Structures are given as C-alpha cells and as structure tokens.
Amino acid sequence: MDFTTKAVTTMNTLNQSPYRISGTARRELKKELSYLKRSIKYQPHYVDLCNVYGTPLDSEKEQDFIDRSEKRIIEIERLLMELRI
C-alpha cells in the first residue's frame, strides 16, 4: 500500500459517521424522536384544550399514548446510539 492509497483510506474513515444509522434515515429518526418528546411534554396542555372545547379524552387513552410514545422513544434512542464498530 503506497502513501496515496493509505491517505485516501484514512480520509474515508474520518469522514464516515461513527453511528450505524446515518444520513437521511438518522435525521428522520431524530425528527420522530423530537415529535414524541414534545407530544409527551405538552400532553397536559392538549388534555386541557380538549376538556375546554368539549372533547374530553379518556385517561386510559392518554396513558396508552404516553406508554407507547415512551417505548418508541427508548427504541429510537437505542438505535441512534448504536455505533458502526
């Protein structure tokens, strides 16, 4: 292996993402993660609005939504933290 081949190989590994998921797929997962976290954070406000404007939500449905969202958040965070190795 000559110097130029070694330099190109080193440059390619430096520019690669250390994470298994990268590029557009990673950005889409981050957007979904942000949406889910924001939804859980503002859930009490949504409930208040629904109660004021006459379409109250069941506490069972609220809790189900929160539980599903938290599971998905954990799954997405795990996927985003996986290294390429």
pTM of this structure: 0.76
The CA distance from 18 to 46, in Å, is 38
Q: What's residue 79's pLDDT? A: 95
Q: What's residue 35's pLDDT? A: 97
Domains of the chain, residue spans: 3-81
Q: Is 16 left (phi over 0), alpha (psi -120 to 50) or beta?
A: beta
Residues of the chain with pLDDT under 70: 1-13
